[in-house]
Chain A
Amino acid sequence: DAMVIQNPRYQVTQFGKPVTLSCSQTLNHNVMYWYQQKSSQAPKLLFHYYDKDFNNEADTPDNFQSRRPNTSFCFLDIRSPGLGDAAMYLCATSRDIPRRASRFYSNQPQHFGDGTRLSIL
């Protein structure tokens, strides 16, 4: 089945030690998203890729970076994790409309992976 796969499911790292989370998709969707979700909170968008175009949210800390080497893969790099970065990280994909189309927003649902729960020691 086509799906969004996140690895690892659980990641433990030390304070300040860089960590990379990965996401792959077999849906051939052109948009990929990274969300941070803390307990009892809504998912918070960190950034997204529209094809190869990187779109950072204004309030995403510089500590968070992303790479999308090809359509199928996207990585979240946390350069120096702090205790406040402990959270569930969710990857999602969607098929968005071409930007030249008249409609301003996508009407296609986002499809999520199972998430990576990050713990900081």
Chain B
Amino acid sequence: SQELEQSPQSLIVQEGKNLTINCTSSKTLYGLYWYKQKYGEGLIFLMMLQKGGEEKSHEKITAKLDEKKQQSSLHITASQPSHAGIYLCGGYAGNNRKLIWGLGTSLAVNP
């Protein structure tokens, strides 16, 4: 099934460092969602982006959707151990009503 491409697959950063996770689609996205998942738990909704060029921030996390609506980035500023987890992007593309997913980016933040 069609998937979104996420990069990097995994990331280890030192506490306090900034980081960026990318999510790319081969088709125009009509809704892009970022989720966080801790091991063995459900997905926590972070942010939703719909418009080309849209940018949203919550606490130290900023998500952007490019003008073509095919690429999104999630940026964490001054990372903390509480940011550790798996970040997944999900989106609606083309005429498909089913949410398609990236494979996730595993983030570890070392104190």
B75-111 vs A, Cβ < 8 Å mask (1 yes, 0 no): 0000000000000101010011111011110000000
Q: B31, B41, B92, B96 — which one has the most chain A CB atoms within 10 A of its CB?
A: B41
Q: Kindly state whether residue A102 has any CB partner on chain B within 8 Å.
A: no
Number of A interface residues at 8 Å Cβ cutoff, please give it: 24
In the complex, the answer to whether A42 meets B104 with C-beta atoms within 8 Å is yes
Min distance, Cβ A114 to any Cβ of chain B, angstroms: 4
Task: Give the residue name and chain of the B residue nearest to A41 (CB).
Answer: B103
Inter-chain contact B45/A90, CB cutoff 8 Å? no
B15 at interface (Cβ–Cβ under 8 A)?
no
Chain B residues with a Cβ closer than 8 Å to the other chain, count:
26
- Residues of A near B95 (CB, < 8 A) are 104
Instruction: Tell whether, in the assembled complex, residue B101 and residue A43 are in contact, meaning their CB atoms are under 8 Å apart.
Output: yes
Query: Residue B63 at the A interface, CB < 8 A?
Result: no
Q: Are A43 and B97 in contact (CB under 8 A)?
A: no
CB neighbours of B33 from chain A (8 A): 109-110
List of B residues within 8 angstroms of A6 by Cβ = 42
Contact of A42 among B40, B41, B45, B101 (CB under 8 A): B101
Residues of A within 8 A of B99 (CB): 45, 110
Whether the Cβ atoms of A114 and B97 lie closer than 8 Å is: no
The distance in angstroms between the C-alpha atoms of A114 and B39, with both chains bound, is: 10
CA distance A4 to B35 in the complex (A): 15
**Complex formed: what's the CA distance from A109 to B99 in Å?**
10
State the CA gap A101–B40 with chains docked (Å): 37
A10 and chain B: residue at smallest CB distance: B40
CB pair B42 A114 closer than 8 Å: yes
Pairs A-B, 5 closest by C-beta atoms: A42-B101, A112-B42, A112-B43, A114-B42, A115-B42
Residues of B bordering A, CB below 8 Å: 1, 3, 30-31, 33, 35, 40-45, 48, 50, 88, 90, 92, 95-99, 101-104
What are 7 A-B contacts with C-beta separation under 8 Å? A40-B103, A57-B98, A109-B33, A110-B45, A110-B90, A112-B44, A112-B45
